[in-house]
Amino acid sequence: MKTPADSVVVMTELVLPNDTNFLGNLLGGRLMHWVDIAAALSAQRHSSKVCVTASVDEISFKEPIKLGHVVHIRSVLTRAFRTSMEIYVEVDREDPIHGMRTRTSEAYLTFVAIDQYGKPLIAPQLEPATDEDRLRYEEAAIRRENRLRVRETMKALRG
């Protein structure tokens, strides 16, 4: 049985001019791209299969990331359900001139491992190893329940 630590992925990116808007801030879409890659790698590391993004629950942008900053992205599996896996991603910016590091974003994404025909595969179970792992594991069930409830409510509204 795998633990969350087995799925940890750490990526480091440098914000270059092509990554920024007119204000010199990292484009949100570029950060979302990097977050998606890190989460996909965590899901793949856990399942040992090709994984696809099923949903992005939420992504927060708390602080801007500027041109020349170093972006640290860390992803980890929080829970595996029947075929889906939830991944938590945290993003820190580092100002290399001043040595300051700040949490700028957090996100929750859901991935599914698929076979060669695009059909979902059963996800290997996850065994929380630390208190933080157990808390994230329990919170993941609540987020999943909320996702499913919202999906059903939207479906009912559409008839």
Indicate which CATH number applies to the domain containing 66.
3.10.129.10
pLDDT at position 159 is: 81
- Strands 84-95 vs 70-80: parallel, antiparallel or unpaired: antiparallel
pLDDT digits (tens, 9 = 90+) for 100-158: 999 999 999 999 999 999 999 999 999 999 999 999 999 999 999 999 999 999 999 99
Residue with tokens 């509204």: 157
Could you write out the DSSP letters of every residue in 138-153? Answer: HHHHHHHHHHHHHHHH
pLDDT at position 146 is: 94
First to last CA, the chain: 42
pLDDT at position 58 is: 84
In degrees and rounded to multiples of 5, residue 142 shows phi and psi of -65, -45
Structural domain range at position 12: 4-157
Domains in the chain, number: 1
Structure tokens at 69: 């900053």
Q: How far is Cα 37 from Cα 71, in angstroms, rounded to an integer?
A: 14
For the whole model, what pTM was predicted? 0.94
